[in-house]
Chains A and B, each alone.
Chain A
Amino acid sequence: MALYSDKVMEHFRNPRNVGKLDDADGIGEVGNAKCGDIMRMYIKVDDGIITDVKFNTFGCGSAIATSSMATELIKGKPIEEALELSNKAVVEALDGLPTHKIHCSVLAEEAVRAAVKDYYDKNGIAYDPEKFRESEDPHEGSCGL
């Protein structure tokens, strides 16, 4: 069996929403170059809806594919819904990831939240900090740097 599902390879080969947004309302960056993966996510927000989203990723095939899938899953959605995006949903939408690549999906989830947090901060919108707490078991398999 191949390392990645067809879906992962399809998103890797043809990533959706790749690029930058010069007029982004929120930018989130997570990961560490020493660990070998960094995701940066840009969101445009109108009326509480994520109207546009772009990403840049330095990382392996699954890091690029999970970034791509995460942007698809939040584009056009209300911010509250985007905040509910879980890494599991990203993994499921990609028809699974190898165990040692699960941390890429965690990064994708965190990148979305980081972008939203940046949007809230920039616009002085109050939020529940609990929602942006580091997850308990965030970097399964990451290098811990």
Chain B
Amino acid sequence: MFVYADNAATTSVSRTALDAMLPYLTDFYGNPSSLYAFGQKAAEALQASRETVAACINADPKEIYFTSGGSEADNQAIVSAARIGARKGKKHIISTQFEHHAVLHTLSKLEKEGYEVTLLDPHSDGVILVEDVENALRDDTCLVTIMFANNEIGTVQPIAEIGALCRERKVPFHTDAVQAAGHMPIDVQAMNIDMLSMSGHKFHAPKGVGVLYAKKGTVLTNIIEGGAQERGKRAGTENVAGIVALAAALKESCDHIEENTGKIIPMRDKLFAELSKIPHSIINGSLEHHVPGTVNMCFEGIEGESLLLMLDDQGICASSGSACTSGSLDPSHVLLSIGLPHEVAHGSLRLSIGEYNTMEEIDHIIEVVPKVVSYLRSISPVWDELEKGELKHLI
């Protein structure tokens, strides 16, 4: 049985998105910047997509900028706010320890340029406290950037509260909503969001297309220079077919949030309930503030990469925050930020479920994971010491 349980990494392109985009690859392949009617046909599709995306998050179409994806949108939002701040002598930015690297690396670059960055620690349940944001705010704060939902543990942040606080203090607020868009309702006006990033392939559009929403009056700094596309703020011939697919996929996802959530939650809850029966396991992140599909757990005494390889042999696609899977030397910065010890963080497993998954697939995961964990423990010297009481159980 093949089970794709890594929807937080990427999703399949939906039939709706594919049908919407195909004509713009084959029949209407004109350049939207061309004057003739054939090019304008593509320009019209772009405009319609802009309107669709805007409607999904309660924005104005003029506030929607298409990008190559979530990372580019994050980069542009942060750099833009930093430049606006610098002009007013404000060079302090507030963010969190467990942002995506698209945010963290952009912030490190700005730090080298002389900006000061405060990275807030999440609470151990993976949620940022609004009062921590409030306490970190300074007169020279030029940006607060806090993710909508965490990509590894799925915890949802108090975005509306942080938005209201930032609006009151007149500090621009950006949120990386890559994991939330299409899966949870987003209203940029009600939530007082000034800038927001999303990525098409997380909600059944193709890879390589994303959105930066920037509230009217936000002066964007170009990341890519060139032609006057996207009102001069993002050069390069538009990925018309990708954009059309993104709009179609976002609309379809947003129109079915309740229905999809209703399908996903029972599957997710069954995973949590059954996998928690594995001794010395822990669920990472608050279940109360959570995107529907993400399940993140740690199993003591084993290492995540070997777990993933064995699951792969059983047809299960999942991910882990172990150092070995990240290609870096440390385990996931997200798991460390919520206070997990290194030893435990190495044994993490992320399963992310989507509306296309079935209960039969969940049953397969529930059958396989405990067996694999128990096998890996049987050959683990760490588990051996834990069992003999030579090491203390951490979870």
Contacts and interface: CB of A to CB of B under 8 A. Distances in A.
Contact of B381 (A15, A34, A56, A101): A56
Given A56-B384, A61-B306, A144 B329 contact: yes
A143 interface: yes
Contact of A60 (B303, B330, B383, B384): B303
Contact of B305 (A9, A13, A15, A61): A61
Given A40-B381, A56-B379, A60-B303, A143 B323 contact: yes
A108 to B, nearest CB: 14
A122 interface: no
Interface string A25-50: 00001000111111110000000000
A59 B303 contact: yes
Interface string A54-81: 0011111111100000000000000000
Interface in B347-389: 379-384
A34 B303 CA distance: 11
B234 interface: no
A5 B323 CA distance: 20
Q: Which of B309, B325, B381 has the most A CB atoms < 10 Å from its CB?
A: B381
A100 interface: yes
Decide if the interface of chain A is mainly helix, strand, loop or mixed.
Answer: mixed
Contact of B303 (A63, A142, A143): A63
A13 B329 contact: no
A60 B305 contact: yes
Nearest to B327: A100
Given A36-B303, A36-B322, A58 B330 contact: no
A119 interface: no
Interface string A97-114: 000110000000000000
A13 B306 contact: no
B327 A143 contact: no
Nearest to B384: A56
Contacts of B121: none
Nearest to A8: B309
A15 B313 CA distance: 15
B330 A143 contact: yes
Interface residues of A, number: 32
Contacts of A57: 379-381
Q: Which of B313, B331, B341, B343 has the most A CB atoms < 10 Å from its CB?
A: B343
A36 B323 contact: yes
Contacts of B304: 60
A143 B329 contact: yes
B346 interface: yes
B381 A36 contact: no
Contact of B324 (A19, A36, A56, A144): A36
Interface string B292-311: 00000000011111100100
B342 interface: yes
A58 B313 contact: no
Given A33-B343, A36-B331, A143-B329, A61 B381 contact: no
B393 to A, nearest CB: 12
B324 A64 contact: no
A58 B385 CA distance: 11
Interface of A: 9, 12-13, 15, 18-20, 29, 33-40, 56-64, 100-101, 141-145
Interface of B: 301-306, 309, 313, 322-325, 327, 329-331, 341-343, 346, 379-384
Given A40-B381, A143-B330, 7 more contacts: A33-B342, A33-B382, A36-B303, A36-B342, A38-B382, A58-B302, A60-B305
15 contacts: A12-B306, A12-B309, A29-B381, A33-B342, A33-B343, A33-B382, A36-B303, A36-B342, A40-B381, A56-B380, A58-B381, A59-B324, A60-B305, A64-B306, A143-B329
8 smallest CB-CB distances across A and B, nearest first, come from A60-B324, A60-B305, A40-B381, A34-B342, A58-B380, A36-B346, A56-B381, A58-B382
